[in-house]
Structure 1
Amino acid sequence: MRRILAITIAAATALTLAAGCDTADPVADGPATPSPSVSAAESSAPAASPSVSPSVSPTPTLPAKPKKLKSGAKGPEVLALQNRLTELGYWNGKADGKFGGTTQQAVFALQKAAGLGRDGTVGPKTWKALEDGVRPEAKSTSGKVVEINLKRQLLMLVDDGRITQIFNTSTGSMEYYEQEGQTYLADTPRGKFRVSRQIDGWRNAPLGLLWRPKYFNGGIAVHGAPSVPPYPASHGCARVSISAMNWMWKNDALPIKTRVWVY
């Protein structure tokens, strides 16, 4: 029978700082924290109503009667989609008129912010969210902060309370897993931290590979991964796409000592 360690939430949080993180699907990094005191019901609780800030006005660049778009689509409507996502702050790389994985990641982020189904397809409701200028709201009010919203599964770069970039992220799955005879909970602890170390390349951690990780809470990091689904799937880290992580490094978006607020 699998043995779940009987520890308190406080002890679990303390252990997390020394443990590692990520993913149950399909790449991973260091181990999470033994914290079986968190109930399974928490991992399946419905998300709160979206808190959005439609601060960007509708744009005339969107098609008058847009068609449904999904991964693999090409053409001027995709280009309009990409430009609008970029205008709203959803990181989308360079607009090229091709609906690939990077565009899908941005669509996931928009759908999360708008409280829509996270299917990565741009239908009528997603087009409306684009037209309405839906954006999440920041919690921090001063300085440069990386905010990780666990309910919305969004990672945001914030400058003096203004969100500059929004990314799809996948954090701890809140499921149990075993490593070296012990049972751990794959959680991403809430709190305020700072980026303390980084590795410019692949990190072969106990649970798998992390691309260019930026550690902010012991073994828990923001890092690139080949798989970033629109739901919590990691062992504790905040996953973003490989291309998004490369952009963060290139633009020095998460330098050492950057504040990270997980809530």
Structure 2
Amino acid sequence: MILTVCVVFGLLGLYTIQHSTQSKETFSSAILKQGSSGKDIYELQGRLKALGFYNGKVDGQFGATTKSAVTWFQWKFGMKSDGVVGAKTKLKLWNATKNWKPTAADLPQGSGGGAPASGAKPKESESKLPASNNMGISEKELKIMANAVYGESRGEPYEGQVAVAAVILNRVKSSQFPNTPTGVIYQPGAFTAVADGQINLEPNDKAKKAVKDALSGWDPSDGCLYYFNPETATSKWIWSRPQYKTIGKHIFCR
């Protein structure tokens, strides 16, 4: 019996060491969370970007956009979606990107890794569109917005669809929310379409046009940050928000 116990614990130990070593081939043992910076964050952002979860700049700064990407990754892979990168998340990410190799864009300028040379923290950003897009939102972000509008409001009148797109943009501009559409949309519990998977449906031309109209300045919500369908809403909190107007089946709140 003693021999059996020793063998079992020995095998468990080898299993733990093997999997721990795998994730440590690149990551350190540090817990990564919003506010962290340095080599591990370059690694984290590069791997998330390779999987399509992160659309921002690989800058070594764990900001709101990076947290949203981590939360999305954790949710997709059946883990606790808290935006904190511990050993379990690192291992899952490593296993999902075994063939990933950093490119020049995934490394800090002038080095093979580590923190940026300058003292100032670079901000997470997106590749910019031409001047007609005055918020500097990338094509990928616009596509995510169209997915959200389609998933959330495809049965609503066109004005209501533009209003949903406007709410997303209003949140991007608000200091209370992440500063990118992806960050806003994938914020835990923020949008039903993310929770039920409708965010992955291919948007139609009307949803895409609604996003463009909202980006051009049309805001039927008049600056609202929230909306809900009173027939399906289960959150008590949303009912406490000041209700401003109704468009279709959605009540828009401030």
TM-score range (shorter-chain normalised) is: 0.3 to 0.5
Higher relative contact order (CA 8 A, sep 6+): 1
Q: Work out which of the two has the higher radius of gyration on C-alpha atoms and give 1 or 2.
A: 2
Identify the structure with the greater strand proportion: 1
TM-score, normalised on structure 1?
0.36
The structure with the greater share of residues assigned to helix is: 2
